[in-house]
Structure 1
Amino acid sequence: MTDPKVDPSCYVAPEAIIIGDVEIAKGCSIWPYAVIRADLSEVRIGEGSSIQEHCQVHGNPGKPTIIGKNVSVGHGAIIHAAIIEDHVIIGMNSCILDGARIGSGSIVGAGAVVREGMIVPPGSLVVGVPAKVVRENDPSLLDAAKRNAEEYHELRDRHKRGEFRRYKNRT
């Protein structure tokens, strides 16, 4: 049996589910209803990354899921047995399938479906169903990813400080 390892500097919402061979590096944020399930293969999440509400992260035997540093995984996205390099934005409700690799400094547009085994070059913008690279070698994408990660670092810290109260049903 393998217990998840989560650095104490992380913010993990009480509603998040983290199962199995998961390692989450320092400064990450795991938001409500995210599910990170490493029962078939390991999941590694790099420093400063955010896994937002309703995301699913899972692997397959022999195909781990690796998420780099300062990656923002948008609300409702699915990452399945894929590699996400550093400073990437995975858009809301997008799906990254087995064996795909998203290069550093890239953005996957909302709702995109990145095919099994697709290799996205660094600094790319990827959109559509199925996903297609529509822009490459664009340094502005890296800047956007860094800004987005910083916004989530600030939110992580505010939630850890208890700045937001939860509604308590009194009935």
Structure 2
Amino acid sequence: MNRPGVNIVPIHGKTPKIDDSAFIAPGCTIVGDVTIGAESSIWYNCVLRADVSRIVIGERTNVQDGSVLHCDPPRPGDPDGSPLIIGDDVLIGHMAMIHGCVIENRGFVGLGAIAMNKAVIGSDAMLAAGAMLTEGKVMGERELWGGRPARKMRDLDEAAVMGMRMGTAHYAENARHHAAAVDEALKS
């Protein structure tokens, strides 16, 4: 699929694999061993750089404007390195920095938050805006963590979880509108 304005960069024999239904906004750079699932959206000016390990993004996940995603290679004592594995229906807020961690299905990363190598954001869990989840920390399901360094603040109630799910649905629909608008702009 042609993706005008998107920099797709193969490196080390690895080329990004992007589902045809995914929306990749102009201004994004996607490098190397990246896989992006169906109906996911990568918003304006994001960088996904999988030059030393892999980045896997599930279905209906959105990575919002200006976010940076990277990973770490294998090292002595760490033969697997720190790939970045992101599940389905994940929300990643604007200007987030996500590095070599795992975000389970329906996880949420707030605006400007940082998640570091080998950290885990559990299903239906929320890393608050501006928080820093340090290396190796594990957030359980339905937990809210915040601060620098992040720590558990409380469990999330059903209303908060449903709000995150509504956000996922909104971004999937909004991505379709943006894809159409980008296509129309290119025609004029």
**TM-score under structure 2 normalisation?**
0.84
User: Percent identity over the alignment?
Assistant: 34
**Aligned pairs, how many?**
166
Mapped pair 1:55 → 2:62: no
Letter in 1 for 2:37: A
Mark the runs of 5 or more structure 2 residues left unpaired by the alignment: 1-12, 74-80
What is the one-letter code of the residue matched to 1:48? R
Q: 1:23-75, CA deviations, whole angstroms, 9 ceiling, x for partnerless residues? A: 00000111111000000110000100011111010000121000110111100
| Post-superposition CA distance 1:95-129 (Å, at most 9, x none) | 00111000000111100000110000000111111
Root-mean-square deviation (CA, aligned residues, Å) is: 1.5
CA drift of 1:137 comes to: 5.6
Q: Contact 2:144–2:156 at 8 Å: present in 1 too?
A: no
Deviation at 1:163, TM superposition (A): 7.4
SS in 1 for 2:89: coil
* Aligned pairs (5 A) from 1:47-86: 47-61=59-73, 62-86=81-105
3-state SS in 2 of match to 1:43: strand
**Pairwise CA distance, 1:140:** 3.1
Structure-2 residue corresponding to 1:142: 161
SS of the aligned residue for 1:86 comes to coil
List structure 1 runs of 4+ shifted beyond 6 angstroms.
163-166
> Which one of 28, 40, 47 corresponds to residue 16 of structure 1?
28
The CA deviation at 1:135 is 1.1
* Distance change in 2, residues 1:109/1:18 (3 Å): same
* Paired position in structure 1 for 2:174: 155
Residue number in structure 1 paired with 2:39: 27
Partner residue in 2 for 1:5: 17
Structure 2 counterpart of 1:93: 112
**Conserved? CA contact 1:106–1:141, under 8 Å:** no
Structure 1: gaps (5+ residues): 167-171
| Residue of structure 1 equivalent to 2:5 | none
Separation in structure 2 between the aligned mates of residue 44 and residue 101 of structure 1, nearest angstrom: 14
Match of 1:127 in 2: 146
Q: CA shift at 1:141, angstroms?
A: 3.2
Residue in 2 that maps onto 1:169: none
Deviations 1:127-148 (A, max 9, x none): 1111011112633332122111
